[in-house]
Structures are given as structure tokens and as C-alpha cells.
Structure 1
Amino acid sequence: MDATPTHRPTLADVTRGRILFGGDYNPEQWPEETWHEDVRLMRAAGVNSVTVGVFSWSRLEPEPGRRDFDWLDRLMDLLHASGVGVVLATPTASPPPWLGHLHPETLPRDEDGHVERWGGRQHFSHSSAAYRHHAAAITEDLAARYARHPALTMWHINNEYCTYDWGDEAAARFRDWLRHRYGSLAALNEAWGTAFWSQHYGDWAQVLPPRRAHYLKNPTQVLDFRRFTSDMLLECFTAERDIVRRHTPHLPVTTNFMPLWEGQDAWRWAEEEDVVSVDLYPDPRDPLGAQSGALVQDMTRSQARGPWMLMEQAAGAVNWRVVNQPKPRGLNRLWSLQAVARGADAVCYFQWRQSRQGAEKFHSGMLGHAGERGRAHQEIRQLGADLARIAPHAHGGRVGAGIAVLHDWHSWWAGDQEARPSRLTDYPRILGAWHRALWQAHLTTDFAHPEHDLTAYRMIVVPQLHLLTDAAVDNLLAHVARGGTLVCGFLTGLADQDDRIRPGGMDARLRDLFGIRTLHEWWPLEEGESVRCAGFRGTLWSEELEADGTADEITPYQGGELDGLPAVLRKGRAWYLSTLPEPEPLRALLTRAAATAGVRPPLDGLPDHVEAVRRGTLLFLLNHGPGPVTVDVPGTHHDLLTGTTHTDRVTLDHRGAAVLRP
């Protein structure tokens, strides 16, 4: 069979009109008699899907070459008989101790050369030929054995790919990667700017990963190493993906992203997956936790270009923050419905049964230490019933967005360097501030790569893109030329694809687009410091700009070194912000820009803490505020969650939700 199916399977091939509901199931941690109790409780909770085998390599292959599949056979049969589908994982995220013991070259090394040994997880070198060989072998046997098992619905490759390796085998692969990228040492020297600090390379053997250095590392070398790492991990994924596809070309394949993690170019990865999935753990104590969740959900939906899978979340507390508090009553349901509102067709957890031993015994489960009478499990049962009610109407529905936020991992990598004007201009912080302003303005957004087709969007928002290719700049110019609105933040377009600063400190075409003659100086601000502008205060950053006289509107700085100079410029439909306005003025500016672009919230007059999202024909209303609230919803609507019909208004309880169908 061909490794590439004629019909590329999708999440819809698994869900079949349902919303998948379940989570990671690790039965190898429990006596076998517990399994029957598990499936009884799963059925009572409405669980229809579990992920099995994520960390079971040592159980499946207790010693080199010896397979133990008997326990998994019995488990798969039991789950199928109980009506629970299986997302079967390749167990390659945590190799067994024997692999590291017999093949120490499979263990990654940090930038100081220290070996990361077994005893935790993710202790593998993505570049190790021995690791790849053994990972392929266990994947091959797993796929061959269960390809025709009726419980199998989807494949889950590895888990949260997040390893770096600075070792010798990785160094050799890095040199191969660089040869392919640049073709010659002369081209590499040019791209890396090795004329600086006498770094010129005369032999490929001299080129190393950016290991510990006496002082600042070459930033383009670091950028390329991050690109290389993402590509090596992707090679590991696609190698296992191709094995399982060969055996089951009709079944979709996924791996779980971590939310807004720096180490993977998830745009590229998403193109290699049949289903895009993510793990999401907002802090329940964070008053902006719902917004951070919405950001990740919008990004994942955009990577999937449609419905996506929430692979992991917590039913209660996690175990890895300084203080780990549980989710208050109702929050798990609210945030799960938020994921469905923003395009998820699967709502899953880590994990089904809370562990009694090991490093995650304080991480909550769908079935916690309190058992089936525990509050967390009772809320899980309620959520299972809720999802069953709304699935026939929500499943497969599209989320419409007239605004796209541009995001690129390569730009993030390039901007996140040791020597820069300010380390306070943290990329996720700025991205979160801009998305939060849009979210609080009740404006639904997609995410897009700066080289993507942007013709579907009326407004493009660029919080910060340090690195822009020529193609990306052309894309922004074309968007404005065809009548689209562009709102762009500081530190955008100052470098090319090799992190080479563009003449003038910003691409000349962008300066012309915004009405900027000269960018004289960057003026970063200290934490807590602000600059006064006409009508608002700016934070984090400011710039000494000279306008060219073509801007239609200028908001000046007031006082200080930049008095009278432009803080914000608007030229036609193109806006440039040389500072980060405080939250309310940023929200007001983006709301104004959206209105002129013809983009409006789903409802007028929404209360501040109510999130409203349209998915297909449904309107989701989610109350993130401190108490009950009434929302004006013109017309008559049926609430799928309660079966109640509402005319012109809906009252939401504290942490309440409504899913309205006309």
C-alpha cells in the first residue's frame, strides 16, 4: 500500500457526527481488574474515545526485541466491546531504560555537553540513528498488529515533541542540514555574518551547534539551530507517521502540540498531520486564563484550517506550577465549551484515572483520587452529557473570522536573541496583549502565516514580526492595495530571513506604507515605565520616528525626548504603532480599525466578561465574569444545553454558558 492515501483522512472520519470526549488512559499503571471498573465509569460519563500507549514502550518491549502485546490485546478488546474508540499512540516519547543503557548515543546532550539520562521522559536524541531505528521497529510491529482492530480510530505519534540536542550526532546532522540549506560554506558565511568577531568558517567540520560560548552567540547560527531542531523532530514524526499510514491509510494521524511552544514551526508541522491537536492548560487563578485559552484555540483552528482536537487539558489541578490550585466549580465545563465554540470537535484530558505513583500523581484526572463521587468526576459527567446534546449541531461547524493575526515561528526565533534593545519585549507577551485586546472587543480572529493567502480577511493585525521575508512584505502591501486594513506593531520588518537588519531599521516599503521617512532610534522602556501620548499612555517600547508628510493621521508623543514625534501613524488603511498602548486604548484603537474595515462583534452591546462566538449556525455565550449576567440576543433562540427557548435576552449564571440555535 502507498504511504500516502488517496483520500487524506480527517477528524470527521473519526467523530462521525459526535464530539470526541475522553482522554489519555494508562491502564498499565493499574491491576487488570481495575480496567472493567474504568470502562463502566467511562460509559457513565459519556466517554467515547481514549488515547492508549503514550508512555508504554517499556511495557510493550521489556527487553530489546521482545514484544509483550497480550495485555494491550485484552485492553483493546475490552474497550471495543464497551463502545470506546482507541487513539493508539506510538510509545516513542519515553524510551525504556535499556535503550539508553545499551545505546548511550540515543541520549540528548545539553549545550554544556551534559547527558540527559533516563528516569524522566523525552530522553531521546532526534538525530540518533539508533533511536530512530528502535522507534521505527516498535511502531512497525504495533501498526501491523492492530491495523485491523475494530477499536482503532486514529494514531497519535509520540507526545509533545520538545527535545533539543547539542551532541555530536546532532552536530553532524546540523552540518548536513546547513549544506542543504546554503549549498556552500561561502553562502553560510554570508548568511551568518561571520565577518563579525572573526567567525569565518573554512571547513564544514568547524561548524557546530550553538553550544556554550564565552559571550554572546551568533544570532543567525542560533536561528538556524532552532530551524534545524524543528525539522529533525518533524523527521521523527513523519517517519513514524509513514509507517502507520502504510498499514492503515484510512485512519488519520496526529501528534499533540504544546500551546504556543517555541520549539516547533507548527505551521509546517500542521501540513504533515491529518488532525491538528493541542494540549492546553491555562492557570485557573489567572483572570485572563480564558483569553490565553482562546488565543491557543484560535491558533490551533487556524493551523487545522477547520475542526481540531483538544488532546489534553486538566479536569482540576496540574502539578508543575509553583502553586497548583484546582479548577473552581464550573470552570472546566466553561473552558471546554469555549474550545468547542472555537472549533474543537474533540475535548480530551490528561488523564482518565489519576495516578497513584510517579511524577504526576498530583496531576488531576477525569477520575480523581476522590473517585466517582468526587466533584471533578461529577462535573466530567455533566460535560459529557452537554457535549452529547450539542454535538449534532456543533460538529464540523466553521468559525468565521474577518480578522487574521499574523504569527511566524522563524520571526519569534530571530527576535528572541540574547543581545537586543530590550528583553522585556517578549514575543508571547506582546502577541497576547494584542489578541487580548481583540478578544475583549468581542472580535473573533484567525491566525495566519505572513506568507499565507490573506484575501479572505478584511483586517490584518501584526503585533510584532521581527523577521519578514520579501514575500511576506509583498503580501502585506498587496492586502492594503486591495482595500484591506493593516494594523502593525513595533519591531516589525526590521530584519530579513537571515536576521540581517534592513537598511533604515525597517523595510523601506513598510516605511513608505505607513508614512515614515526615518526611524532614527529605538527607545525601549523599563518595566513599569510609560510614555505619554495624545489620549493614552504607551508601555514597553517607543521610537524616534520622522514622518514623511503623507500620513492621514498622527498621534504624537507628549513630553520627554520624543515630544511631538509620531507614536501612531495612519496612512489610508495602514496603521503603525511605535509603542504598546495600555490595554483599554489598544482595545479602542483595534475596535475602531475593525469597524472601518467592516468587522463587527457577533452581537452588539455585549457585557465585558461575556464571550460570544458563532460556530456554524450556533451562537455560544460564555460568562467569564464574577456573577450572573443578562445578554441581549434579538429574536428567539433555543438553548441546546438546557432545552430552554429564549426571546430577546439570555441570563447566564456565574461561569454559565448557553449554546443558542435560531
Structure 2
Amino acid sequence: MIDGAASAFTFGCDYNPEQWSPETWLEDARLMNEAGVTLVALNIFGWAQLEPVRGSYDFEALDTIIDLLHDHGIGINLGTATSSPPPWFSADYPESLPTMADGTTRAFGGRQAFCPSSPAYREHSLALVEKIAERYGAHPAVRLWHVSNEIGCHNAHCYCDTSAVAFREWLKAKYGRIDDLNDAWGTSFWSQRYAAWEHIQTPRLTVSTGNPGQALDFMRFSSDELLEHYKAEQAILRKHSAAPVTTNFMVTAHIRNQDYWAWAPHMDVIANDHYLDHRLGDARAELSFAADATRGLAGGRPWMLMEQATSAVNWQPLNIAKAPGEMIRNTLSHVARGADGISFFQWRASLQGSEKFHSAMLPHAGTDSTVWREVVELSGILQKLAEVTGSVVEADVAIVFDWQAWWATDLDSHPSADVRYLTQVHAAYNALLGAGVTVDIVAPGAPVDGYRLVVVPSLYSVTDAAAQVLADYVAAGGHAVVTFFSGIVDENDRVRPGGYPGAFRELLGVRSEEFVPIHPSTVLELSDGQSASLWSERLRLEGAEAISVFTNGPVPGVAAVTRNPVGDGAAWYVATALDEASLSETLVRAAREAGVEIPVVHPSGVEIVRRVGPSGSWVFVINHSDAAYEYRTQGTEIITGAEVGTRASAMNETSQNGTLDVPAGAVRVVRESRK
């Protein structure tokens, strides 16, 4: 994945030497060796140190730390330092500060305090990148280039006049004619028709609801604007260096600003930052989803976890420390789902600043701490698992997921504000996760003919082409499950007339004449004993068969779950929000019918994921529960060295019948076969 890292995991961290003395640098290099660190991200927020005053550069400290780490055998993931401009920049170019939707300007003092369309930002940031690339492009320690940092985390959407000019240029390139823009946005509504490009502004807050077409295009523009700057930095780096170039994505539940399907082809390495979000109902399941989605962005190939926390973060209302062993389990969940590189934010816990209570590999308590001991233990485990690198995850089921559909679904003025896109995606994913089914995450319109089952949760917005891919897949013998509020509008948020679910109506063999959403607290009972909530429809069958019907609520007797046979394939429609158990039962039934092998029932909290490669296959059994779990297999357990199902020994966790004991809170990785 990264040059020089073949057949081994990269194991690393963010390091901020500018926060520490040179004496501490020496101690840190020694401790990094002790912890098995192989890759360190430097200069992520280094602009103010490198260019303390405008046009005057100082690389002495960065030279020293790069050489020091190189002398200790540690590779560098070198940042371009463009994520946060220094104070002089905001003082000299106050018009570069970002403007919010309410028209107010944000001041200097946090991070990412710039408008993505600012000409001054682009000029000075690219000049800095040129200096860095010239100086370090051939340095033997530089293994990876890190453009900016968590791009668009805080400033993805700037509503200033400069952004408005750039937005208009983007719109001109997309539509060509203003009449075509008017048609796409539906500006005949509410007297919004534009006669000139210069009348178009960014979608600032209005006294009523705004134009959804404008809002969607602004989000697309904003994602593209940041991507163009990434590509500009990348071009400079490639001019001076052969090392791969990437940036850290934020595939996570609380960030949705970039369309990462559009970004992924421009990355030499797909990298993601992920932190457990305890504001969610199931933070661990969301971790697994994010890992699988990141693998999807990597086209199924191995990827890199650029940031995670050893324990608590600092930015949630309640920052929960990880229990003993939890960090190792979390990390190996990422590995099981395709990560070949593991890094943490950060190396040494800061003493000042807003992240001083964010956990680190080397905590405030020092090396005499549980966190440090687990870091060293994890490093040893990854060294034992080196043979797994380069292998891929095995999955027969795909879930269709899309950032642009997320934007569209969560706009206002919809039938129910309680229908949120990611909630429905997570519901489908968690139902399969709980059944032990590994899934790939794919974009709408991506080839899916290699899967036995494709699940499409609440894909409100979809193009004709993407809908046709699914229809062709089913016609060729594939199996699909589509859930409610899918196929309703096209990419311009224009409703598809003729009845719902719009683009999928013919495929599913149903027609709904009206949505009938209900209060989330109302429980709907179905004829097969299942339960649901949130949503129902006035649905009629046009070729499909009813698997179950509503027995109460506003539409009793109307189909709730349907199945439409299409040749050797089948298309299911779930016209309501099934509860967790019911959705799992329905998806497992569809999966079995599609020929998906459903694992033996195992307790909640046990993850079983398989990676395969030319030299064999490895099964990860991750026991997040508080009870031991027995897993039937045969091979060699790599972490403990136990032989499973081949010979018995009183000294290891094996038996003649091929049962591996996975203690509560433990992880076991079995090499099932070797060629």
C-alpha cells in the first residue's frame, strides 16, 4: 500500500514536535521505537512554524525532526501544513475568512479559518507546498504525502461573495445555459426564475425554506471546490516526489460534507479518520460500517486508518474512555475490514490547546499506564498478523450508499423529518452485521453483478442510469432489497411522476399513490408477526406478491413487505421502517434465497470477518461481549500460536474437534489455509 511497507502493517501516529522541546524529541524517538511505530505524520499544522511571517520560511526545526526520526528507522507521512493558515494570513486577508449561511464571518483562532474559494488562500498555500515539496521531495524518510488535514471538516460550505463568484462559474460549466439551470432547479416555483448568472448567490438563510436544487448544487460545488485544491497540491507534490499522495477522509456519522465517491479516484492511498461516536445508539456498529465504507472507496483493496483514538476524544458532550482491551478490539475491527495501515491521533498527549484532553499513544500518565501497555501490545499483534496484509475482505452482499443521496434526503419539507438517510442505512447495515453477514459498500450505479444480494436503503435520490444498473442486475438473476423512500426524485430533486417508488416502481412490481408517515412512537403490526414504525404507504401490487400486510395503523390490509420475481432473480420492497429484529429477519430471508451463506448464529457483540489472499484465508473473530465464545474452525490461531482442530495441547486453546475458545473481550485470528 505504501512503498516499503509490503508484508507489514504501517503503525503510526500524528506527531506535533512544535509543542515540545528538542530534548523531548529524543525521548519520543526512543519510545516510538519501543512501541514499534513505523510511520509518523508530521507538519500537519505547521504553517505558522514554517512561515512565521509572510514570505519568510524557516525549515530548521522540521529538518531536525525529520532527520531524527529517519535515523531511528521511522518513515514520515509529511503534511503540507495547509489546513490552518497562520495569524498573519487572516490579518492580511480578512476577506479570506469563511462566511456562514447566516451571513456572519468566523474569526481567526480555530482551525480551517479560510474560504475554500479564496484566491489569496490558494496562492499562499500552494507557494508553501512548493517550498515543502522542493525541500523534502527526495528525502528518503518521506513515505507518504498528507495533503491538508480532514479537508472540509469545518469550512466546507462558505457563503461569502467570493464563493458566490466561484459557485456561478461552476454552474456555468455544469449547465452551459441559464435556462437549463432554471429547469434543473425548478425556479418557476415561487418566482425564482433567473435571467442572469450574476443574480445567483450562495444559498444563505432565507425567511422561508430555500430552493432544494440550489442547495444540492451548492453542496456538490463545495465538495468539488475543495477537491480541486487537493488536486492542485497533489500536482505540486508529484512534480517533486515519487511518494504516494493522499489525505484523510472522514467517513463517519457526523461528517457528510464531501462526496467521497468523487474524491476516491484521485487518492494514491485511501485513508480514513474514525472515532467512536457515543452520541449514536451503537458506536461499535458504526465503526464497522465506516470501515466497510472506506474499503468500498478503496475499490475493495486495502486502505489506511489515518487517525483513531487510544481512548477518549475531547469533542463530544461526554468523552468516554475506552475499557481495557477495547482499543485493540476496535483496531482489529478495522484490520478485519481491510485496513493495512493503523495510526493514531496523536503520539504524545498535548499539555495545551483544545485537544489537551484527547487521548494519545503516550498519555499524560506516561509509560506506566494501561494505554501505553495496550499500544505496545497492539504493535506486537500487528507484527504477528503481517501475513494478512495485501489480502481482501470476502463479501457476497452489497449495500448501496451515497453522500449525495444523504444530502438530498435530509433536506427540509419532506413527508417526515424523522426519516434520516444515514439512520436507514445504518439500520440495514446493523441488521446484516447482527446476522454475521459481511457486506461491501458500493456507490449507486457501480457494477454489482458479483454480489448475490444488493440492499438499497432509502435511496431517495437516484439517477436513471443507477436505477437501470439495479434493474439489469435483477433481470440477470440477481436479488435486491429496496427500502421505503427510495427512487423518489432524480439528481435534481425533481419528483418522478406516476407513483412511488419512482425509479424502482417497475423493478419492484408495486405502485404507491401516497406516503402515510406516522409518529415514531406508533407501533405498526404486520401479518407475519413483525413490527414496524415511522412509515407506511398506500401501496398496490402490480406484479409483486405481498410477504406481509399491515394489520393496524392508517393502511390496514395494505402490503408492507413485497417480493417481485424477475426471471431467476427477485426484487423485494420494504414499505415501512421494520424494527431491528424484523429487518434482520427479512434481510436474512432474502439473503438465504439469494444463496448467501448465513453464519451459524452467534451472540450479539461477536464479529466474524474473513480476509482472503493468494496465500490463503484468515478469519477474524472479535469478541466484544462479556462472555466467552466458541468458534468452529481449523487452522492456526496467529495471535496465540494455537493449533485449532489439528492437534491437542494442554498449553493452548485448542481441541480435537476444531473448537476455538475466544475469551470475553478477546480477538483471535485463524489462518484457515495456506497454499
Given the two structures, how large is their TM-score scaled by the length of structure 2? 0.94
- CA deviation profile, 1:308-364 (whole Å, cap 9, x unmatched): 010110001101111112100000000101111100001111000000000000000
- Mark the CA change 1:22 to 1:12 in structure 2 (over 3 Å): closer, same or farther: closer
Q: 1: CA distance between counterparts of 2:238 and 2:181?
A: 37
1:239 to 232, 235, 249: 232
Shift in Å, 1:612: 0.6
Alignment match, 1:201: 194
Question: Are 1:607 and 2:617 an aligned pair?
Answer: no
Aligned to 1:45: 35
Does residue 215 in structure 1 map to residue 208 in structure 2?
Answer: yes
1:394-473 equivalences under 5 Å are 394-473=388-467
Counterpart residue type for residue 653 of structure 1: P
Secondary structure at the aligned position of 1:23 is classed as strand
C-alpha distance in 2 between matches for 1:526 and 1:286? 21
Please give the residue correspondences for 1:335-354 in structure 2 after superposition, counting only pairs within 5 Å: 335-354=330-349
State the 1:608 CA deviation. Answer: 3.2
- Residues 575-616 of structure 1: per-residue CA shift (max 9 Å, x gap): 000111110111111111111111114x43433321111111
Aligned counterpart, 2:167: 174
Match of 2:663 in 1: 653
CA distance in 1, matches of 2:123, 2:430: 45
Shift of 1:539: 1.8
- Is residue 544 from structure 1 mapped to residue 538 from structure 2 by the alignment? yes
CA contact (8 A) 2:546 2:560 kept: no
Match of 2:328 among 315, 333, 357: 333
Q: Letter of the aligned partner of 2:249 in structure 1? A: F
* Contact persistence 2:501–2:512 (CA under 8 A): no
2:54 to 57, 64, 89: 64
Return the offset for 1:14: 4.4
1:8 corresponds in structure 2 to: none
Q: CA-atom RMSD, angstroms? A: 1.3
Deviation at 1:504, TM superposition (A): 2.5
Please state how far the C-alpha of 1:288 moved relative to its aligned partner.
2.5
**3-state SS of the aligned residue for 1:454?**
coil
> 3-state DSSP class of the match of 2:392?
coil
Q: Deviations over 1:381-440 (max 9, x none)?
A: 00000001101x210111011111001122111111111111111111111111000111
Contact 2:29 2:69 in 1 (8 A): yes
Q: 2:360 aligns with which of 343, 361, 365?
A: 365
Task: Determine the C-alpha separation between the residues in 1 that align with 2:553 and 2:102.
Answer: 45
Please show how residues 271-282 of structure 1 align to structure 2 within 5 Å.
Answer: 271-282=265-276
Query: What SS class does the counterpart of residue 373 from structure 2 fall into?
Result: helix
Alpha-carbon distance in 1 for matches of 2:138, 2:329 = 37
Question: Given that residues 311 and 346 in structure 1 are in contact (C-alpha distance below 8 angstroms), is that contact kept between their aligned partners in structure 2?
Answer: yes
Q: How does 1:20-39 map to 2 (within 5 A)?
A: 20-39=10-29
Letter in 2 for 1:409: W
**Amino acid across the alignment from 1:606:** H
Partner secondary structure for residue 328 of structure 1: coil
**Counterpart-to-counterpart distance in 2, 1:334 and 1:275:** 24
> Matches of 1:441 and 1:554 in 2, distance apart?
21
Q: Give the Cα–Cα distance (whole angstroms) in 2 for the partners of residues 285 and 206 of structure 1.
A: 41
Number of the residue aligned with 1:378: 373
My pick for the range that moved more, 284-293 or 336-345, is 284-293
Residues in 2 aligned to 1:540 and 1:626: alpha-carbon distance in whole angstroms: 33
- Aligned CA distance change for structure 1 residues 605 and 215 (closer, same or farther; 3 Å): closer
Over 3 Å counting, the alpha-carbon distance change for 1:354 and 1:565 in structure 2 is same
For 1:403 and 1:167, locate their aligned partners in 2 and report how far apart those are by CA, in whole Å.
44
Separation in 2, partners of 1:446, 1:562? 35
1:207 is aligned with what amino acid?
I
Whether the 8 Å CA contact 1:314–1:364 is kept in 2: the answer is yes
Matched, 1:131 2:121: yes
**What secondary structure, in the 3-state scheme, does the structure 2 residue paired with 1:432 have?**
helix
- How many Å separate the matches in 1 of 2:553 and 2:263? 46
Q: Is the 8 A contact 1:105 1:130 kept in 2?
A: no
CA–CA distance in structure 2, aligned partners of residues 458 and 638 of structure 1: 30
What is the aligned-residue identity percentage? 42
Secondary structure (helix, strand or coil) at the match of 1:351 reads: coil
Distance 2:108 2:628 in 1: 50
Q: How far does residue 303 in structure 1 lie from its aligned partner after superposition?
A: 0.4
2:245 pairs with 1:253: yes
Q: Provide the rounded CA distance (Å) in 2 between the counterparts of 1:334 and 1:43.
A: 23
Does the 8 A contact of 1:607 with 1:631 survive in 2?
no
Matched position secondary structure for 2:76: strand
State the 1:282 CA deviation. 1.2
Q: Residues 239-286 of structure 1, C-alpha deviation per residue, up to 9 Å, x if partnerless?
A: 1011101111x2111111112431100001001101111111114697
Q: Is the 8 A contact 2:256 2:403 kept in 1?
A: yes
2:309 maps to a residue whose letter is: A
Cα offsets for 1:72-98 (capped at 9, x unmatched):
111111101101100001111110010
Task: Report the AA paired with residue 632 of structure 1.
Answer: R
Q: Is the 8 A contact 1:486 1:574 kept in 2?
A: yes
Alpha-carbon contact 2:45-2:83 (below 8 Å) kept: yes
Question: How far does residue 199 in structure 1 lie from its aligned partner after superposition?
Answer: 0.5
Q: CA deviation at 1:124?
A: 1.1
Structure 2 residue 493 is matched with structure 1 residue 496: no
The amino acid that maps onto 1:584 is: A
Q: 2:573 aligns with which of 559, 573, 576?
A: 576
Residues 14, 117 of structure 1: alpha-carbon distance in 2 compared, 3 angstrom cutoff: farther
> Which among 636, 639, 642 is matched to residue 641 of structure 1?
639
Question: How far off its partner does 1:102 sit?
Answer: 0.1
* Aligned counterpart, 2:526: 533
In the aligned structure 1, how far is the partner of 2:461 from the partner of 2:637? 46
d(CA) in 2 for partners of 1:283 and 1:451? Answer: 30
Question: Which amino acid counterpart does residue 498 of structure 1 have in structure 2?
Answer: N
1:1-55 deviation per Cα after TM superposition (whole angstroms, max 9, x unaligned):
xxxxxxxxxx242422110111101011001110011011111111111100111
SS of the residue corresponding to residue 15 of structure 1 reads: coil
Structure 1 position 507, deviation (Å): 5.6
Give the AA of the match of 2:176: G
Structure 2 residue identity aligned to 1:176: E
Q: Determine if the alignment matches structure 1 residue 82 to structure 2 residue 82.
A: no
CA distance in 1 between partners of 2:497 and 2:106 (Å)? 43
- The answer on 1:296 being equivalent to 2:296 is no
Aligned length, in residue pairs: 645
Distance 2:362 2:534 in 1: 44
Change in 2 beyond 3 A, CA 1:322/1:285: closer
SS in 2 for 1:373: coil
The 8 Å contact of residues 496 and 502 in structure 1, kept in 2 or not, is answered as: yes
Equivalent position of 2:650 in the other structure: none
User: In structure 1, what is the Cα distance between the partners aligned to 2:166 and 2:118?
Assistant: 9
**Shift of residue 292 of structure 1?**
0.7
Q: Partner amino acid for 2:356?
A: K
Question: Contact 1:278 / 1:312 at 8 angstroms: preserved in 2?
Answer: yes
TM-score scaled to structure 1, two decimals? Answer: 0.96
Unaligned stretches of 5+ residues in structure 2? 646-657
Instruction: Check if 1:524 corresponds to 2:520.
Output: no
**Matches of 1:314 and 1:586, distance apart in 2:** 32
Q: For 2:374 and 2:502, locate their aligned partners in 1 and report how far apart those are by CA, in whole Å.
A: 56
What CA distance in whole angstroms lies between the structure 1 residues aligned with 2:5 and 2:577?
Answer: 43
Please give the alpha-carbon distance, in whole angstroms, between the structure 1 residues aligned to 2:554 and 2:44.
Answer: 57
CA contact (8 A) 2:488 2:503 kept: no
Structure 2 match to 1:270:
264
* Long gaps (5+) in structure 1: 1-10
Structure 1 residues 520 and 172, CA, compared in 2 at 3 Å: closer, same or farther?
same
